[in-house]
């Protein structure tokens, strides 16, 4: 199934995102900042969930989110479907989990190290099964699938801009530093970014070509492929070497390890207890130390020196 996103539908979905999300603050971590000046940085690649945006449940993956039953039934109704019984939400998340696991298994058989799904395909298959089994009534259309995915995501994992986000991004741009994204994300992630003016997404602050979305590449962090994708583009377009790129994220395995192994500079964002992942017992991060640790985004303004032409 194709999923066209008309301007009318896009505006409607963004309105739903704004309606379903509420202001929230990050939770203190108790970590101390460890900063030092970094010179020669021409591009900063940000993680989104837990770094640019604080999330209600931290950095929630699609599998974890699929365990939410009550929001599932509410989301189905909001997207125009009818639940035929009290167990509708249970059956919905059970089928959602099953489809995600099956998709991951197929990708692993095809040689993908860290598979990612396109949640629209997952919901489409889940809806077909729920309707076939009599748990849900309704018409499965591309628009309905996209509406359902957003209704559910914003209920199980609402998001809000981190403090100081707009000011930090504006300061980096004023210094001639380009901005990009490396994110475990879905089709709705850019819509969520655009819904918050603090991100500068709608204003074009981020270079869209220097953004890697896991759902498009069908591979997720901690695979190196997402950072590699952007590094290749940055090298070809701007002649940037990896050490001119700073990767900022809240997860030592997902964000810091891939970037460090590929020669980038790294900044661990330790500003939100809901999403900070130090992975102390994870062999993936053995020997990995970030170049700097920040507890507030605005600390980037102090450590990043103006980019050289």
CA triple 114-289-198, angle to 5 deg:
70
Q: Tell me phi and psi for residue 22, to 5 degrees.
A: -130, 155
In 3D space, the residue among 234, 249, 228 whose CA is nearest the CA of residue 307 turns out to be 234
Each residue of 225-276: pLDDT tens digit? 999 999 999 999 999 999 999 999 999 999 999 999 999 999 999 999 999 9
- Both 88 and 197 in a single domain? no
Number of other CB atoms surrounding residue 128 within 10 Å: 15
The reply to whether 192 falls in a domain is: yes
- Both 151 and 197 in a single domain? no
What is the pLDDT averaged over residues 153-174? 97
Question: Domain range for residue 128?
Answer: 62-156
The reply to whether 127 falls in a domain is: yes
67 has pLDDT over 80: no
Q: Count of alpha carbons within 13 Å of 162, Cβ hemisphere only?
A: 31
In the chain, the largest separation of any two C-alpha atoms, in whole Å, equals 63
Q: 107 is written with which tokens?
A: 């990708």
What is the pLDDT averaged over residues 107-128? 98
Q: Strand, helix or coil at 92? A: helix
Give the integer Cα–Cα distance in Å for 290 and 275. Answer: 17
- Both 48 and 98 in a single domain? no
Among 108, 128, 156, give the residue marking a domain's end. Answer: 156
59 has pLDDT over 80: no
- Both 140 and 30 in a single domain? no
- Both 102 and 208 in a single domain? no
The reply to whether 294 falls in a domain is: yes
- Both 170 and 138 in a single domain? no
Each residue of 12-28: pLDDT tens digit? 999 999 999 999 999 99
CATH of residue 252: 3.40.50.1000
Q: 3 is written with which tokens?
A: 């999923």
Q: 124 is written with which tokens?
A: 């489409």
To the question of pTM greater than 0.85 for the whole model, the response is yes
In 3D space, the residue among 176, 178, 227, 184 whose CA is nearest the CA of residue 204 turns out to be 178
- Both 89 and 178 in a single domain? no
Q: Strand, helix or coil at 140? A: coil
309 has pLDDT over 90: no
285: left (phi over 0), alpha (psi -120 to 50) or beta: alpha
The reply to whether 2 falls in a domain is: no
The reply to whether 188 falls in a domain is: yes
CB under 8 A, 24+ apart: contacts of 69-74: 69/93, 71/152, 71/155, 71/156, 72/96, 72/152, 74/151, 74/155
pLDDT score at 306 = 66
- Both 232 and 252 in a single domain? yes
- Both 119 and 164 in a single domain? no
Give the integer Cα–Cα distance in Å for 307 and 42. Answer: 5
The reply to whether 5 falls in a domain is: no
Q: Strand, helix or coil at 102? A: helix
Q: Provide the domain count of the chain.
A: 2
- Both 170 and 258 in a single domain? yes
Question: Mean pLDDT of all residues in the chain?
Answer: 95
The reply to whether 79 falls in a domain is: yes
- Both 215 and 291 in a single domain? yes
- Both 216 and 237 in a single domain? yes
Among 130, 156, 182, give the residue marking a domain's end. Answer: 156
287 has pLDDT over 90: yes
In 3D space, the residue among 203, 127, 144, 122 whose CA is nearest the CA of residue 9 turns out to be 144
């Amino acid at each position: 199934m194709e999923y066209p996103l008309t301007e009318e539908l896009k505006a409607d979905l963004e309105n739903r995102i704004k309606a379903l999300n509420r202001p929230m603050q990050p939770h203190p971590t108790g970590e101390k900042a460890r900063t030092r000046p970094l010179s020669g940085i021409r591009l900063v690649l940000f993680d989104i969930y837990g770094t640019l945006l604080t999330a209600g449940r931290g950095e929630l993956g699609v599998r974890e989110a699929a365990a939410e039953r009550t929001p599932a039934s509410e989301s189905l109704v909001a997207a125009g479907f009818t639940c035929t019984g009290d167990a509708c939400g249970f059956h919905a998340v059970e089928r959602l989990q099953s489809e995600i696991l099956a998709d991951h298994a197929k990708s692993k058989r095809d040689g993908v190290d860290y598979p990612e799904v396109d949640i629209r395909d997952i919901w489409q298959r889940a809806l077909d099964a729920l309707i076939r089994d009599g748990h849900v009534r309704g018409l499965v259309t591309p628009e309905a699938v996209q509406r359902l995915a957003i209704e559910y995501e914003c209920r199980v994992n609402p998001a809000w801009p981190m403090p100081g986000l707009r000011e930090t991004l504006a300061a980096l741009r004023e210094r001639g530093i380009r901005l990009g994204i490396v994110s475990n994300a879905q089709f709705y992630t850019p819509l969520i970014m655009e819904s918050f003016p603090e991100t500068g997404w709608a204003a074009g602050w981020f270079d869209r070509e220097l953004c890697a979305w896991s759902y498009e590449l069908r591979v997720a962090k901690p695979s190196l492929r997402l950072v590699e994708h952007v590094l290749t583009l940055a090298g070809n377009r701007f002649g940037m070497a990896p050490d001119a790129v700073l990767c900022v994220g809240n997860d030592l395995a997902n964000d810091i390890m891939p970037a460090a192994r590929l020669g980038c500079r790294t900044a661990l964002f330790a500003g939100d207890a809901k999403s900070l992942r130090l992975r102390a017992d994870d062999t993936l991060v053995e020997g990995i130390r970030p170049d700097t640790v920040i507890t507030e985004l605005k600390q980037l303004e102090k450590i990043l020196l103006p980019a050289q032409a």
